[in-house]
Amino acid sequence: MKFLLFTLLFACASYAQKDSKFLISLENVTNVEIKSDFYINKIYDGRQIKDNIGTAQKSLFNTKVLTDFKKPFVEELQSFLSICYPKREGKKGIDIRVDELYISEITRSNKETGYATVVFDVIEKNGGKDFIVGNFSATIESSGLDVTSKHSERIIEALSTSFESYKELKKGDRLNVGFSIGDGNLFESPSSIKEGVYINYADLFTGETLDLDNFSITNYNGMKCLLNNKTGRLENGFYGFSDGLNFYINLFRFSTFRLYAKTELLGDYYCIDSVKVNSVDFSALKAMYGGGIVGLLLFPEAYEAEVPLLLNKLNGVPVFLTEKYMVNLLSGNKELYKDYRKTKRTSNDKIAFYKKHFNL
């Protein structure tokens, strides 16, 4: 799988302490009530990566650091949404599950661009039971000389845009998928993935899916798009889908576009067979891993144009199968390492020897 702009806009589980992060708040004197017939009752944190909300650039050297809210995630959102969508007589209460919320920055020449992406499900009660009625998402970007100070504004705009999409949801277009609060624990990693559309990463462990027959799969630059047969809308907010043979993961957490990339299951990881090295933001990776030997193993050699990417099924942590990583992995097995050195060390070679090492 090859794609041109793998900007790595996600932040993985990090070793950074809270006080080393760049903290932002959604509190703003310009926050006012938005006209609506609903208020936000409960907020569920359905994010796969919960210890940060992305990366930002600090100092004159544009050093990448992890970002987070000043308050705990749910508390920060609840404080903001209670102002913009307050509880009032005659309004219906809805719950939301936040699947993704993250920010990022990219510097090109003399211009900085900041991004904020929000993905959430709206949950309504019907007959005493909870149902997901729709999945809504938005990505907001803006450019300037200093975009770091505007992250909260982009998040607020992404949230507001997504709620406007919910307001426009037609009755016949509702998903109406049952929703229940699990015990919060995900146990056995799935060894195979049944056919269906998966709204949230946790659905891969619970087996909850939407019927794939209600969607059409189209090709775009070697990747996939998912078209809703009922609404005609491109569904770019779902975590992924399986056609029964392969699982396709949404790239919105990793790139500037929302397409689904083919993966292979390798133990506890989804494997994307090849990503272009020159489009990966390794400075962001360094911030995520906190440096050290783990961070060094991620960096490719000068001759490596493409490397495989592994994504942990449970926590979303990325692993790039760089030459440094493979040498470190195989050095304890002299025969396997010797055989590996005889290859051209392509992406396919790296995946093959990764499988041999772990008996996959």
E strand map for 189-305: 196-198, 215-220, 223-228, 240-242, 247-250, 260-266, 269-276
Assess whether pLDDT exceeds 80 at residue 253: no
**Which residues, listed in sequence order, are joined to residue 55 by a DSSP beta bridge?**
66
In a domain, 1, yes or no: no
Out of 152-161, 225-234, 310-319, the most confident range is: 152-161
The confidence band for 293, taking pLDDT boundaries of 50, 70 and 90, is very low
The confidence band for 301, taking pLDDT boundaries of 50, 70 and 90, is low
In a shared domain, residues 252 and 277:
no
Residue 134's closest CA among 186, 210, 201, 79? 210
Residue 294's closest CA among 285, 302, 307? 285
Per the structure, the count of domains in the chain is 2
In a domain, 187, yes or no: no
What's the pLDDT at 287?
Answer: 53
Q: Are 326 and 350 in contact (CB under 8 A)?
A: yes
What's the pLDDT at 182?
Answer: 62
At 64-75, the pLDDT tens digits run 788 999 999 999
At 37-48, the pLDDT tens digits run 999 999 999 998
What's the pLDDT at 161?
Answer: 97
Name the token pair of 176.
């109406």
In a shared domain, residues 228 and 317:
no
Per 3-state DSSP, the chain is made up of helix, strand and coil in percentages (nearest 5) of 25, 35, 40
Q: Are 300 and 309 in contact (CB under 8 A)?
A: no
At 182-225, the pLDDT tens digits run 644 555 666 678 999 999 988 988 888 999 999 999 998 788 99
Pairwise pLDDT comparison (193 vs 286), residue with the higher score: 193
Pairwise pLDDT comparison (167 vs 288), residue with the higher score: 167
In a shared domain, residues 50 and 27:
yes
Assess whether pLDDT exceeds 50 at residue 13: no
In a shared domain, residues 208 and 333:
no
Determine the Cα angle at 238 with ends 234 and 239, to 5°.
140
CA dihedral 260, 265, 270, 271 (to 10 degrees): -80
In a shared domain, residues 317 and 241:
no
In a shared domain, residues 66 and 207:
yes
In a shared domain, residues 57 and 161:
yes
The Cα-based distances of 8 to 108, 175, 201, 287, 347 in angstroms read: 15, 30, 18, 12, 19
In a domain, 46, yes or no: yes
Q: Are 257 and 115 in contact (CB under 8 A)?
A: no
Residue 318's closest CA among 284, 355, 350, 279? 284
Range of the domain at 16: 8-182+192-260
What's the pLDDT at 289?
Answer: 52
Residue identified by tokens 């799969």 is 217
What's the pLDDT at 9?
Answer: 43
Least confident of 99-103, 191-195, 333-337: 191-195
Least confident of 55-59, 95-99, 275-279, 352-356: 275-279
Phi/psi of residue 19, nearest 5 degrees: -75, -5
Pairwise pLDDT comparison (167 vs 60), residue with the higher score: 167
Pairwise pLDDT comparison (279 vs 334), residue with the higher score: 334
In a shared domain, residues 204 and 225:
yes
